Amino acid sequence: MSTDQPLHWSSNGVRIRTAHRCGSTAYLRTTVSSSKLRSDKIDAALQLIAQKGVKRVFTSAIGPREQLFFRDIGFRLHEELVLLSNDFSVPVPKPTHPTRRALRSDRPQILDIDTSAFPQFWQFDEPALSEAIKATPRSRFRVNAEPSPHGFAITGRSGRQGFLQRLAVHPAHQGKGLGRSLATDALGWLQKRHVNEVLVNTQITNLTALELYESIGFTRRSDGLAVLRWDAGE
């Protein structure tokens, strides 16, 4: 088993991949509900990758029930997030900037936007970007329709549930309405497909994002999310 490739334990209900920039860091995402996870199997997987040089593992943003499971096997809090939802009770504003489908040739610029817009811990590499696009059965990947991309949005749909997976605008082009247009384009796409609720999460300190989401109909939920961390040898 090599830590320069994604590591999968699908039968055990988790998927673990190592970071592209640092093979000693890995990211864990659950693929089943917490009630189906087995602590002995997850612990065995963690010990195995620790033997291969992984020193720390971060979960994806998870809810309270999953947090309890992972805390019981040695994970601790890394960062709390705000979870917001939109049930379309407020009319969706029309985008003021046109968008277009993101092309594979846009990927380098999209990753540059992402790196510029987020702190290092939250930045996407190519595997993380691909994972976000494939995280739901249906997805929409858009950029602003100017000569070159300055912002992008990844939207997911699973049945009647929608997700604003990722929204980023290069800092040099923020404040022009690009993020708002990408977000409302996402909401319009989901509404046309009869989605009942859309979820998005962001950092507690990201006041700009919170203001944007709340201005287009999202409200904060009490059941927030968190990223947990496991350190080898602790």
91-216 and 7-79+225-231 share a CATH fold: yes
Residue type for position 215: S
Write the DSSP string, 142-166: EEESSSS-SEEEEEEEETTEEEEEE
The pLDDT tens digits for 60-117 are 999 999 999 999 999 999 999 999 999 999 999 999 999 999 999 999 999 999 999 9
What token pair was written down for 119? 């702190």
Tell me the two tokens of residue 109.
């610029």
* Structure-token pair, residue 233: 């040898």
Among 20-34, 119-133, 199-213, which stretch is predicted with the lowest mean pLDDT? 20-34
Name the residue ranges covered by the structural domains of the chain. Answer: 7-79+225-231, 91-216
| Dihedral of alpha carbons 16, 17, 23, 27, sign | negative
In the CATH scheme, what architecture does the domain 91-216 have?
A: 3-Layer(aba) Sandwich (3.40)
**1: three-class secondary structure by DSSP:** coil
In this prediction, residue 14 carries a pLDDT of 87
pLDDT for position 221: 95
pLDDT at 32: 86
Tell me, what's the pLDDT at 12? 76
The average confidence (pLDDT) of the chain is 91
Give tens-digit pLDDT for 20-45.
Answer: 666 789 999 888 888 889 999 899 88
Above 80 in pLDDT, residue 220?
yes
Question: With bands split at pLDDT 50, 70 and 90, how would you rate the model's confidence at 143?
Answer: very high
Could you say which of 3.40.50.2000, 3.40.50.10860, 3.40.50.2300, 3.40.630.30 is the CATH number of the domain covering 7-79+225-231?
Answer: 3.40.630.30
pTM: 0.89
Q: What is the pLDDT of residue 8?
A: 47
Collect contacts of 162-165 with beta carbons under 8 A, ≥24 apart: 162/186, 162/190, 162/195, 162/197, 162/198, 162/199, 163/135, 163/136, 163/198, 163/199, 163/200, 164/198, 164/199, 164/200, 165/132, 165/133, 165/135, 165/136, 165/139
Confidence at 2, pLDDT banded by 50, 70, 90: very low
Band (pLDDT 50/70/90 cuts) for residue 15 is confident
